[in-house]
Chain A
Amino acid sequence: MSTTAVHSLWTTAAVEPLNKIPAPHIEYTQLSPVLIVVGAAIVSVLLEAFVPRKGRYVAQVFLSVLALAAAFAAVVALAAGGYGTTKAQIAAMGAIAVDGPALFLQGTILLASIVAIFTFAERRLDPADHGHKVDSFAAEAAAVPGSEQEKAAVKAGFTTTEVFPLALFAIAGMLVFPAANDLLTLFVALEVFSLPLYLLCAVARRKRLMSQEAAVKYFLLGAFSSAFLLFGIALLYGYAGSVSYATIARVVDGAVVSVNPALADTMGNDVLLLIGFAMVLTGLLFKVGAVPFHMWTPDVYQGAPTPVTGFMAAATKVAAFGALLRLLYVVLPGLTWDWRPVMWGVAIATMLGGAIVAITQTDIKRLLAYSSIAHAGFLLAGVIAATPDGISSVLFYLGAYSFVTIGAFAVVTLVRDAGGEATHLSKWAGLGRRSPLVAAVFAVFLLAFAGIPLTSGFSGKFAVFKAAADGGAGALVVVGVLSSAIAAFFYIRVIVLMFFSEPKADGPTVAVPSALTTLTITAGVVVTLVLGVAPQYFLDLANQASVFVR
């Protein structure tokens, strides 16, 4: 930007009278899901401050579940009121879109979050410590692992109930992320959900150093990708003179927009558009966990407390894909021919990379991490379709996938030995002999991951591949099918291990969970089978929800 331009920006700003700033007009009804969750998060912080330690757990769990359920009810009410279809509109002065995809994804995120919160609240799995029930989180996250302070905290029976407000803030950010209708809101939402997640990753009760390492890795790489995103936003602003999706889309389409005198030199410069867009895309693909921005996934998934991993794997993916869809379909439909080849490459690399590297994994959480990468690849295939079918198939897949994921990680929390969760695959040998039910449930989840018919994984995969083939990406379908075959190998390997291997003498035991985790797992199984056998109702929902408001 030249000095004259800066000068003109100054002078223009000085000349314009202050009363031209419009009073913000907020559609409270349409934003109610987000507002409920944010409000609950704030109340939750206050609970931390004012409720005695003994009462916090109950109060927090109660508040979180209530708030999420209320927010979900609000989403349903909005959808029933036609805000997803006919009354879809852009709210909060252009910052947030309330439309079909936004409501569908918010509903998915909220439902997934409710069941994930149940696993957060589980206190039956670990034996009581010094007579206090314990959950998956550190007694006192700030205490140095192994220190006297930590021992004292454990002895006193402290628990990190802060995870609930953190989770609520993360959920609030995730609700905004797929609905964000300008780049700044997108960035703010990203940070609002990322920062609590970094913290949540660090507070595992066992293997605390690993957990903290995971959090640091996640934070550093996440910050890096946020910087990419932010820089991309700046470049796009330079290109379009606005951060609003609609305005950028119009500029991309070549419509004449009043040129901001301060940006006269840069506006309409395609170099800025392409580089800026690539950087924004990088930021989003990082959150999605697509190759080559997937490096953080296995370490973070492995190190984070398993309930957090499940929550993150499901909800973050939903939110990030929502944002990605909106960006590609609303802001850049005019650029389809520019982004498609790139995304083709990313999708192919993600599908194959995730599936191939997963084969060598020996830790169940890392295995599921690579599996989530492969699934991100399948989802990208649907994104690339660039048709309404593509949108609805991705929406459906996200819903199906998140429940399988949360269920699978919930099962992982059950299999334990003296050192906490027994995540090494060799310890799962013969699990089917010891606890047929748990092994069978996990097998259902694995088969769903593998996309075997009559599970939700198959319906989702079929929908996505069908959309991709319809959208002219037949080659992607073939790659997808091949990587499914590769992926099937390692899912089956786990099943072989559970059912056909002899149990080891010092093998892990399966903890009997409380009703909370049982509910989570049951919900996972039910959704997996229902979406596999009779998906029509949910496909209809996704279809109705597949139109973005512009």
Chain B
Amino acid sequence: MSFPLLTLTAAVPAAGAILTAAVPAARRTAAKWLALLVSLATLVLAAVVFVRFEPGGERYQLTESHAWIKDFGVRYELGVDGIGVALIALTALLIPFVILAGWHDADPLETKSSRWRPTQGFFALILMVEAMVILSFEATDVFLFYVLFEAMLIPMYFLIGGFGDRAHSGSDENAAAQRSYAAVKFLLYNLVGGLIMLAAVIGLYVVAGNFSLTEIAEARANGTLEMATNTERLLFLGFFFAFAVKAPLWPLHTWLPNAMGEATAPVAVLITAVVDKVGTFAMLRFCLGLFPEASKWATPAIIVLALISIVYGALLAVGQRDIKRLVAYASISHFGFIILGIFAMTTQGQSGATLYMVNHGISTAALMLVAGFLISRRGSRLIADYGGVQKVAPVLAGTFLIGGLATLSLPGLAPFVSEFLVLVGTYARYPVAGIIATTGIVLAALYVLVLYQRTMTGPVKEEVRELPDLRVRELAVVVPLIAVLIFLGVFPKPLTDVVNPAVQHTMSDVQQKDPQPTVPNVEAAQ
């Protein structure tokens, strides 16, 4: 029995959440610092996981296994592969910035009652989400994963519904109504997805008799566990539906713009950069790992949906008037790329998809958090309310531009590497899909640059004339994120080294080999 490092990565934020929630009402600032320290401690633990993980070693490392609910065939089983390590690192990296960016988001407007403690709740909920997300990246037991997948909805729900963006048009009451609409929509979509997955989880138990990812995969590989084709397909669909809602994949995406629009910017980052990654991660680990045949069967349809996501999300992003909703639709487009990469079933595609998850997390965080700073200054989310900001607040505009350029995958910034890999990987197997996906890049350039142009350039609008530039706290959020983007853009090797072996395992799960590169037979043509 080795040191339970993985448990600790989740236990620390969970314990931190409880402690933060228990801080007395008057000591708001103490709660914030406590939450920040806990998230940094988690980051250190995640770094230890990253270092201790040997890319060339066993598929699942740092494993832990304890009896949990014997009756359901459930064990508390943890283990990470390279994909999990990368995403744990992403989560642990982003949370301190989310906390720092949301430093004042939950300050009570006026002291209503001594027992109402929104600030403590806000930071406790963020840490709770972090704990559940990290543990879900580590779970190698399907049931344990399911429990976390569902349970994390509750803190997310309170974060969206309880702490809305203060910048809104219209009355407070209207905003509150929209916010709780967004929160309920988020919860219901994901809950329905989760409940359908529950049926599939139960079905899996009936077929397999246990929930251990490794045992089931092994039994399937050596033929001791046969699944009827139809059973496997139904179970796959049950799982995939839940993940596609979470990811989100067109046409199950409609909750995301509402949720991201109404939530505060840090919470929006939490949704799209962290929590949604659980969906795409689970496609790789559970859909492909447990149901390889059904995955291959469903691939054409999923690729079509992913392509629709890419183009549709990008087109709607172009048409948005609300900055946060624009980023939300851009995210939908990016999730299309991730899913495309996963189901292209090539090494490059899946490596690219995994890198994409990390890079999208960081680039969206950068863009969204800066946008949040901007919005909190002006008090409006509408693009039309801005103009000429770069003359007033050059640093803000500059960082916003870098975040935007990362979102449109400019070479030299991290997302370029992953997007390129996804496209190459897709093209190798599905050339047409690869070509269609490329339009997503073109549209990305359009929505990012138009957004920048309308808000930052041009004549300075009256309302933004007094806009202060980024403060120290805000710089402390943005600068490290940009540094990471640049670092991973020019030197993605630390990440690819960890991810690639894991992708090889996934590829062997689905018994796929990369298509051989073919050179058109020039001589024969002549």
Q: Do A and B belong to a common assembly?
A: yes
Q: Report yes or no: B206 in contact with A469, Cβ–Cβ below 8 A.
A: yes
Residue among B146, B153, B199 facing the most chain A CB atoms (10 A cut-off) = B199
A453 and B176 within 8 A (CB): no
Partner of A500, one of B69, B183, B206: B183
Q: Tell me the bound Cα distance from A435 to B180 in angstroms.
A: 19
Query: A-side binding surface: helix, strand, loop or mixed?
Result: helix
Q: How far is the CA of A493 from the CA of B180 in the complex (A)?
A: 10
Is B173 part of the contact surface with A, judged by Cβ < 8 Å? yes
Tell me if A7 is interfacial: C-beta within 8 Å of chain B: no
A502 within 8 A of B: yes
CB within 8 Å for A452 and B150 given contacts A436-B116, A481-B195, A539-B71 = yes
Given A433-B112, A454-B147, A500-B183: A465 and B161 interface contact (C-beta under 8 Å): no
Report whether B151 and A452 are in contact in the complex, using a CB–CB cutoff of 8 Å.
Answer: yes
Q: Is the CB of A463 within 8 A of B72?
A: yes
Flag whether A536 is at the interface (Cβ < 8 A).
yes
* A436 to B188 alpha-carbon distance, docked (Å): 23
Query: Which among A433, A496, A543 is the interface contact of B113 at CB below 8 angstroms?
Result: A433
**Interface residue from B72, B117, B151 paired with A462 (Cβ < 8 Å):** B72
Chain A residues, CB < 8 A from B202: 462, 465-466, 469, 477
Name B149's closest neighbour in chain A (CB-CB). A453
B198 → chain A, closest Cβ, in Å? Answer: 6
Q: Is the CB of B195 within 8 A of A484?
A: yes
Q: Are B179's CB and A500's CB within 8 A?
A: yes
Q: How far is the CA of A37 from the CA of B268 in the complex (A)?
A: 57
For the complex, is B70 an interface residue (Cβ under 8 Å from A)? yes
- Give the residues from 85 to 119 in chain B that come closer than 8 angstroms, CB to CB, to chain A: 112-113, 115-117
Given contacts A466-B72, A502-B173, contact A478 B116 (CB under 8 A): no
Q: How large is the interface on B (under 10, 10 to 19, 20 to 34, 35 or more residues)?
A: 35 or more
Please report which residues of chain B, range 126-154, place their CB below 8 angstroms from some CB of chain A when the two chains form the complex: 146-148, 150-151, 153-154
User: Is A340 on the interface with B (CB-CB < 8 A)?
Assistant: no
Per-residue 0/1 for A479-507: is the Cβ within 8 Å of any B Cβ (1 yes, 0 no)?
00110110011001100100111100000
Asked if B113 and A434 make an inter-chain contact with CB atoms under 8 angstroms apart, the answer reads: yes
Among B116, B148, B206, which residue has its beta carbon within 8 angstroms of that of A470? B206
Chain B residues near A466 (CB-CB < 8 A): 72, 202, 205-206
The one of B70, B151, B157 in contact with A453, judged by C-beta atoms closer than 8 angstroms, is B151
In the assembled complex, the Cα of A478 lies from the Cα of B202 at a distance in Å of 10
Q: How many residues of A sit at the interface, in one of the four size bands? A: 35 or more
Find residues 127-155 in chain A having any chain B CB closer than 8 Å to their own CB. none
* B44-97 residues at the A interface, CB under 8 angstroms: 67-72
Does A412 have its Cβ within 8 Å of any Cβ on chain B? no
8 Å CB contacts to B: which residues of A518-550? 534-536, 539-540, 543
Write out the residue numbers on chain A whose beta carbons fall within 8 Å of the beta carbon of B115.
435-437
Q: What 0/1 pattern do residues 196 to 236 of B give for CB contact below 8 A with A?
A: 10110011011000000000000000000000000000000
CB proximity of A461 to chain B, nearest CB, Å: 8
Provide the residues of chain A in CB contact with B158, threshold 8 Å: 499
Cβ–Cβ contact A453 & B116, under 8 A:
no
The reply to whether B69 and A488 contact each other, CB–CB distance below 8 Å, is no
List CB contacts (< 8 Å) of A452-477 with chain B. 452-454, 458-459, 462-463, 465-466, 469-470, 474, 477
A330–B183 alpha-carbon span in the complex (Å): 48
Q: Would you call A447 and B206 a contact (CB within 8 A)?
A: no
- B198 and A500 contact, CB distance less than 8 A: no
Q: Is the CB of B180 within 8 A of A474?
A: no
By the criterion CB–CB under 8 Å, are B71 and A488 in contact?
Answer: no
B191 touches A488 (CB 8 A): yes
Most buried by A among B71, B113, B196, B206: B71
Q: Which residues of A contact B173 (CB under 8 A)?
A: 502
Is B176 a contact partner of A500 (Cβ separation < 8 A)?
A: yes
- Shortest beta-carbon distance from B429 to chain A in Å: 34
Q: Is the CB of A535 within 8 A of B69?
A: yes
| B196 with A481: CB separation less than 8 A | yes
B370 within 8 Å of A (CB atoms): no
- 9 pairs of residues in contact across A and B, judged by CB atoms under 8 Å: A452-B154, A462-B202, A466-B72, A469-B202, A469-B205, A484-B198, A496-B183, A534-B68, A539-B71
Q: Using CB atoms and an 8 Å cutoff, list the residues of chain B in contact with chain A.
A: 67-72, 112-113, 115-117, 146-148, 150-151, 153-154, 157-158, 161-162, 173, 176, 179-180, 183-184, 187-188, 191-192, 195-196, 198-199, 202-203, 205-206
What 6 A-B pairs have minimum CB-CB distances, sorted nearest first?
Answer: A453-B147, A539-B71, A500-B180, A481-B199, A481-B195, A485-B192
* Besides the known contacts A462-B72, A466-B205, 16 further A-B residue pairs in the complex with CB atoms under 8 A apart: A433-B116, A436-B117, A463-B71, A469-B202, A470-B206, A477-B202, A484-B198, A485-B188, A485-B195, A489-B188, A492-B187, A496-B180, A501-B180, A536-B70, A536-B71, A539-B69
